[in-house]
Amino acid sequence: MVEPAERTSALQGCLADLLLDQDGHSLFGADPAAFGAARQLHMEDQAALAHYKSRLLTYRSLVRSALEDPLPDCFPFTHALLEKAGQWAACVDAFLGSRSIQSSYYRDVNPAFVAWLAQSGWGQDRWPFLLQLAHYEYIEVEILRWPDEAPQVDLGALPKADLYVVFDGTVRNLAYAYAVQDASGGNPEPDAGETYLLAYRDGAGDFQASTLSPHASAFLARCLEGERVGEAARALGLPLEDGLELLWSLHAKGAVLGFR
Amino acid sequence: MTPSGTPSGTPFSGVGVGLRRPHLAQVAALKASPVPFWEIAPENVVGQGGTRHRQVMQILERDPVLTHGLSMSMGGFDAWERDVLDNLRGFLKATQSPWHSEHLCWSSFGGANTHELLPMPFTREAVQHSILRTRQLQAELPVPFLFENVSYYAELGAAEMSEKQFLAEVLEGADCGWLLDINNVYVNSRNHSFDAKEWLEGMPLHRVQQLHIAGHAWFEEDQLVIDTHGAPVIDPVIELMQWVLPRIGRAVPVLLERDNDIPALEELLAERAALQKAYDVALDPLSVSGPGSGGSSRG
């Protein structure tokens, strides 16, 4: 437990407000001393804020610059969309202002961004697909980095009705209301339409996403939940042969490790 | 004399390079390490998988590595993240890094992480707080802890002492090692108008276990030198490294950092080789570039 160091804590809290709050720039820029006074800083510390006004504002720019790499790298189409609309900076500002970045792992900025979009609804009145687009973009990064698993033993290579399916740990059975997989830098606005995807990392370590029918997606969901192949097909009225063929194909691609 | 718990003799010396993502495939494919050692941020490796991760692990199994943390917020107030510490401990044991370093700064407040290296107030209270936090962190780690001096662009609050006095008091009070970032000293000397060599002269150089060296950039709009790690190291910084090495009196390892505008591996290795020459000259007792000469191996 750290002993109270009230002055140090107050100074750090004040700078955090300047860096993160959406109105931090305007409030601090207008009157740094008053900004400090509102946060109960000592008089001499208020004066120091005023003395270093422009340089402290530089830190605000640096915090935003630190997001320029991870966010557009992970969310290239979301970034392209918002940048084109002149809203990227506002989005980053609102994200920072929410104080949603809590982990000290830099990589956790990306899932925090998706979680913030989901929680805040930011931008989704204008771009109702925004959260789903960002989610799909993040899934690719998550899958590519997903921890490797120890090799499974005693798995069969042939799907059968009475066997369980052992999926690769990177497999994500996804459902969207937009064709997010068709988005691109030139056309980042996906068309509306129910979309079912099975995303995974293949044997070569590359990201793959297979488009599924609604039935196939439901069948795989049941298999992922631990139902036997035959039970899953029967529950959905799906011909067993179709299910076996799908699983065989996914096994060949590396999404399914085998059958037990 | 070395700080308590700090190894006095390790196989690490010469000029190493920070291992970065764009070079992983190329470096992993080499038969032998092209550098004396790499430096890596554990938080970018632990809990990961996939192709790049496998490349990193291949390199770490083959080559010597030092570890350097980026976002522990050691001068902050937020509770240590237990899973982060557990992962770090495991990584340090696995890689056998002789020490682990972090920045003497803060990054998070009230649970919100800025992922920026933010300045400590230069006050007696902050000295005591930093000592306490450094000791806490050291107690969590299986290897000696070094802290790194950061670039700071503004003083946070009214200073009761200089940055130099602040760092020296924390180093002594925490009894820990020092990762001396020579570029940060240079950047601070430019931004706060002091003489870098005078600054270094009174510092406890016996605590230095490692150096960082990097490039920086001048930002006209802000009228500031920013520690960008996005350009080659400039001659005055190399000269400062050469000036301080003999005064440290040991062949401590120097790490070349490059985080932005990362060049091709060959270009980075060429810069490393030039720095290695400068390093060797500085530590050669017969060299004309020894203490006091102010010589540089570059133009």
Burial grade of A31 (CB within 10 A; 0-12, 13-18, 19 or more): middle
Give the CA distances from residue A26 to residues A10, A17, A60, B48, B97, in Å, rounded to whole numbers and listed in that order.
20, 12, 12, 40, 45
Q: Does A216 touch chain B (CB under 8 A)?
A: no
CB–CB of B153 and A55 under 8 A?
yes
Low-confidence ranges of chain A (pLDDT < 50): 1-3
Q: What is the CATH number of the domain that holds A201?
A: 3.90.930.50
Q: Does A251 touch chain B (CB under 8 A)?
A: no
CB–CB of A102 and B125 under 8 A?
no
Domain match, A82 and A102 both: yes
Q: Which residues of B touch A104 (CB under 8 A)?
A: 43, 71-73, 81, 84, 107-108, 113
Q: Are B256 and B265 in contact (CB under 8 A)?
A: no
Tell me A253's DSSP state.
H
State how many domains chain A has. 3
**Among candidate residues A49, A65, A81, the one where a domain is terminated:** A65
Window A:18-57, CB contacts with B under 8 Å: 19-20, 41-42, 44-45, 47-49, 52, 54-56
Domain match, A161 and A241 both: yes
Whole-number Å distance between alpha carbons of A234 and A161: 10
Listed in order, strand segments (DSSP E) in chain A are 165-167, 172-178, 192-201, 207-212, 256-259
What is the SS3 assignment for B260? coil
Question: pLDDT tens digits, residue range B139-170?
Answer: 999 999 999 999 999 999 999 999 999 999 99
Name the residue of chain A whose CA is nearest to B72's CA.
Answer: A104
Sheet containing strand A207-212, edge to edge, reads A172-178, A192-201, A207-212
Domain match, A185 and A137 both: no
Domain match, A154 and A223 both: yes
3-state secondary structure A222-254: HHHCCCCHHHHHHHHCCCHHHHHHHHHHHHHHC
Q: Give pLDDT, residue B130.
A: 98
Q: Please state which CATH number belongs to domain B15-283.
A: 3.20.20.150
Domain match, A152 and A199 both: yes
Q: Does B124 touch chain A (CB under 8 A)?
A: no
Whole-number Å distance between alpha carbons of B274 and B264: 16
What is the SS3 assignment for B290? coil
Host domain of residue A198: 148-259
Whole-number Å distance between alpha carbons of A178 and B2: 62
**Among candidate residues A145, A166, A193, the one where a domain is terminated:** A145
Is B293's pLDDT higher than 80?
no
Domain match, A50 and A77 both: no
Q: Which residues of B touch A208 (CB under 8 A)?
A: none
Q: Are B146 and B177 in contact (CB under 8 A)?
A: yes
Task: Please report the sign of the dihedral spanned by the C-alpha atoms of residue A44, residue A48, residue A51, residue A53.
Answer: negative
What is the SS3 assignment for B40? strand
Domain match, A83 and A57 both: no
Please state the pTM of the whole predicted model.
0.93
Domain match, A57 and A88 both: no
Domain match, A107 and A156 both: no
Domain match, A181 and A250 both: yes
Window B:130-149, CB contacts with A under 8 Å: 132-133, 136
Domain match, A155 and A140 both: no
Quick one: tokens of A142? 């998550």
Question: pLDDT tens digits, residue range B29-58?
Answer: 999 999 999 999 999 999 999 999 999 999
Is B11's pLDDT higher than 90?
no
Q: Which residues of B touch A101 (CB under 8 A)?
A: 112-115
Measured in Å, how far apart are chain A's first and last C-alpha atoms? Answer: 50
Domain match, A10 and A107 both: no
Whole-number Å distance between alpha carbons of B61 and A76: 34
Question: pLDDT tens digits, residue range B76-120?
Answer: 999 999 999 999 999 999 999 999 999 999 999 999 999 999 999
- How many CB atoms are closer than 10 A to CB A184? 11
Q: Does A151 touch chain B (CB under 8 A)?
A: no
